[in-house]
Amino acid sequence: MWLAILILILLLIGTPVGIVLGVGGLFGMYQIGGEFFMQVAPSKIFNGLNIFPFLAMPFFILAGEIMNHTGITQRLVVLSEVLVGHFRGGLAHSNMLASVFFSGITGAATADAAAFGRTLVPAMKKQGYTGPYACAVTAAGSIIGPTIPPSGLMVVYGSLMGVSIGGLFATGILPGLLVCAVCMTIIASSGKRKNLPISGRRATLLEILVAFRGSLLALIMPIIILGGILFGVVTPTEAASVAVAYALFIGTVVNPCMSWPILYRMLVDTAKLSAVIFLIIGTASIMGWYLSFMQIPQQIAALFVSLTDDPTLILLMIIGLLLTIGMVLDINAMLILLAPLLVPLTAEIGMDPLHAGIVFVLALNISLMTPPVGACLFVLSSVTGERLEAIAKELWPFLLGELAVLLFIAFTPKAALFLPRLLGF
Amino acid sequence: MRKWMQTMSLRLNGANELLVGVLMGLLVLDVWAGVLDRYLIHWQLNWVEELARYIMIWAIMLAVPCAACSRAHIGLDLLTRKLPLAGQRLCLFVADLAMLLFFLYIAYAGVNFTAKGLAQLSTVFSTPMAFPYAAIPVAFSLAALQTFVLMIAGTAPVADEGGN
């Protein structure tokens, strides 16, 4: 009880999430076995991070940073504009499409939200979209990136739960595209009512071809990353390192813009970004140890099963829990704390591990943009200066659409598993 | 005194970042060597994975103090940003104190952890596990030091630091 109060207070006064989990975990250990138990903490941090596939995370971040610097990602925005820019609400549509194109390069929703918030939101405002609407579209699109592979969250999930990361990557493609399609439908259907701007004429075939050629190098990158992993040729870590090599090749040979100081800065920044995530993973491992010592997973599972034995209801409860807690806690921490609690339950109701994995990842990603405290909303609000409440108001239709995709994926395992099965996972 | 502490903290951070940058570079090279070996040269290098894991832990753990230095470890500021300035300062102080105490404790317990690692040998290199383990006490004492300087020398609450 005291532990819960301590955690809540620390969270509310703005203590970094990694520290909250660490302090909470230490406090819990002290309650069980005094200082003697607390001494275990460093080994929990070390072992929580001593995992080879985790290397894929910093490498994907690094590759994305280099690609951004080469300016090639900018051409992806141009490509999506020539493809869908002429519809009503063209820039909103191209924002969504660009999220899909970007998804093969980056793997973190908040980074996507920050990048788009700085570039696409001002462009949309200039054309006559309201600020909150532009932010809502960007927030809705930002979860496409980490749903379509590569995705840092899938790397963590796969490594921790012993599920094939390649398989998770394959499973993520369909829901990612579905989210894009649903959001574009929502934009199109509300276009007239909201009087969304029309930016101009349809691009000619030649213009499309030129834009396509310009972004070809960026489009190849996901093929290199995913192709290798999905066909089982390389491990995710190897693929991520090849992606770094490919991005460096573009940055030095094709479009020379890299220098040693720039590369050094990127290496350090990548390490810092990863450090924030790794600290959370490490301290969540302390907390996770405490939870499993107290047999909390078994208690929660027993509670769920005692409430109902209907698999549908259990799955709904799991999704509800993920969405609620995901609103306040970092999603990596959530995975480490909740996956061991909930995944056995999904196995009990007969879910395939890959299927359970994608439901987890998608639910956690959606929680990133759920008001009142979704991280993507915060990033967008602070980057653009729009008020959180105003963005949240415009976000509802998209949020409902994405929840519908989540439920569809959760309750039609055949569709969810079609692609991974096709690829032999 | 405050000025001196800030300068020292910055210099320390500069050296710290340099080390992180070099280790990250080595990490990339190591994994590239592994890929080349597996698909082209076939020397059956068995140390690539183990080395990569240990460099990764050192590089990323050492980036924890750098991130602390620039306040990159973020928490929820939904509530605190609505408080008056004095309240914001108090919250920030308590949060920093929790961070400092946590870093200090892990650094202290990490020394014992590392000492235990003197007797364990790693699978491939057969060197004491104390080498990789030492990343924990080193990184966390640096992080504690940087947090301490931040608490003393830099007290202004940072409201709009969001993003990265």
pLDDT in tens, A374-393: 778 877 887 888 888 888 88
Nearest to A275 among B60, B92, B133 (CB): B60
In this structure, are residues B85 and B159 in contact, taking their beta carbons and an 8 Å threshold? no
A380: chain B residues, CB-CB within 8 Å: none
pLDDT at A418: 92
Task: Write the residue in A10, A46, A267 that is nearest to B133 by C-beta.
Answer: A46
Q: A198 has which bridge partners?
A: A88
Best residue in A12, A29, A46 for a mutation probing chain B (most B CBs within 10 Å) = A46
What DSSP assignment string belongs to A131-155? HHHHHHHHHHHHTHHHHSSS-HHHH
User: Interface pTM (ipTM) of the complex?
Assistant: 0.89
Q: In B, which residues are within 8 Å of A270 by CB distance? A: 24
Q: Tell me, what amino acid is at A289? A: W
Question: Which of A354, A369, A413 lies closest to A141 in space, CA to CA?
Answer: A369
DSSP state of A351: -
pLDDT at A354 over 90: yes
Contact B24 A267 (CB under 8 A): yes
Neighbours of A247 (CB within 10 A): 26
In degrees and rounded to multiples of 5, residue A352 shows phi and psi of -65, 140
Residues 6+ apart with CB under 8 A from A422: none
In angstroms, the separation between the Cα of residue B80 and the nearest Cα of chain A is: 6
Question: Which range is least confidently modeled, A102-116, A192-206, B38-52, B92-106?
Answer: A102-116
Q: Are B20 and B59 in contact (CB under 8 A)?
A: yes
Global pTM value? 0.86
CA A189 to chain centre: 26
User: Residue B160: its pLDDT value, please?
Assistant: 38
- What SS3 string covers A49-66? HCCHHHHHHHHHHHHHHH
Q: How far is it, in rounded angstroms, from Cα A107 to Cα A102?
A: 9
CB A99 within 8 A of CB A280: no
Asked whether residue A406 carries a pLDDT value surpassing 70, the answer given is yes
CA distance A416 to A111: 26
* Interior/surface letters B122-139, b for 16+ CB within 10 angstroms, e for the rest: beeeeebbbebbbbbbbb
The SS3 assignment for A122 reads helix
For residues A143 and A140, give the distance between their C-alpha atoms in angstroms, rounded to a whole number: 6
Are B72 and A58 within 8 A, CB to CB?
no
User: Which of chain B's residues have a Cβ under 8 Å away from the Cβ of A18?
Assistant: 73
Confidence band, pLDDT 50/70/90 cuts, at residue A136: very high
Q: Which of helix, strand or coil describes residue A198?
A: strand
Q: What is the pLDDT of residue B156?
A: 40
Beta bridge partners of B121: B128
> Mean pLDDT highest for which of A13-22, A87-96, A305-314, A356-365?
A356-365
Per-chain mean pLDDT for chain A? 87
Contact A61, A107 (CB under 8 A): yes
Across the interface, whether the CB atoms of B79 and A12 are under 8 A apart is answered yes
Cβ <8 Å between A373 and B28: no
Is residue A18 pLDDT above 70, yes or no?
A: yes
The answer to whether residue B50 scores a pLDDT higher than 70 is yes
Per-residue model confidence (pLDDT) at position A107 = 58
> In a 3-state reduction of DSSP, which class is residue A166?
helix
| Angle ∠(A380,A386,A391) on CA atoms, nearest 5 | 75
- Give residue A27's identity as a one-letter amino acid code: F
Q: Cβ contact (<8 Å) for B133 and A372?
A: no
Which tens digits make up the pLDDT trace of A265-284?
999 989 998 898 899 889 98
Return the DSSP state at A234: S
Q: For chain B, what is the HEC assignment?
A: CHHHHHHHHHHHHHHHHHHHHHHHHHHHHHHHHHHHHHHHHCCCCCCHHHHHHHHHHHHHHHHHHHHHHCCCCCCCCCCHHHCCHHHHHHHHHHHHHHHHHHHHHHHHHHHHHHHHHCCCECCCCCCECHHHHCHHHHHHHHHHHHHHHHHHHCCCCCCCCCCC
Q: Does residue A84 surpass a pLDDT of 80?
A: yes
Measure CB to CB from residue A49 to each of B57, B62, B66 and give the nearest one. B57
Angle between helix axes A296-307 and A311-326 (nearest 10 degrees) is 130
Q: Which burial class, exposed, middle or buried, applies to A50 when counting CB atoms under 10 A from its CB (0-12, 13-18, 19+)?
A: middle
Q: Name the one residue in this structure whose structure tokens are 């007797």.
A: B119
Reduce the DSSP state of residue A88 to 3 states and report it.
strand
Tokens 């076995």 sit on residue: A33
Question: Using CA atoms, how far apart are residues B126 and B44, in angstroms rounded to an integer?
Answer: 18
pLDDT for position A293: 87
User: Does residue B57 have a pLDDT over 90?
Assistant: yes
Pairwise CA distance, residues B92 & B84, whole Å = 12
Confidence of residue A41 (pLDDT cuts 50, 70, 90): very high
For the cut 90, the answer to whether the pLDDT of residue A359 exceeds it is yes
The predicted structure's pLDDT at residue B157: 38
pLDDT of the residue at B163: 34
- CA atoms of A195 and A187, how far apart (whole Å): 11
Distance CA(A64)–CA(A244), nearest Å, equals: 8
A268, A270, A327, A388, best to mutate vs chain B, most B CBs in 10 Å: A268
Is the Cβ pair A382, B62 closer than 8 Å?
A: no
Taking each helix axis from N to C end, the angle separating A72-84 and A56-70, rounded to the nearest 10 degrees, works out to 70
The single-letter code of the amino acid at A377 is L
Is it true that the peptide bond before B132 is cis, omega within 30 degrees of 0?
Answer: no
Instruction: Output the pLDDT for position B155.
Output: 44
Q: What is the pLDDT of residue A298?
A: 80
Contact A62, A266 (CB under 8 A): yes
- Asked if residue A241 lies in contact with residue A247, where contact means CB atoms within 8 angstroms, the answer is no
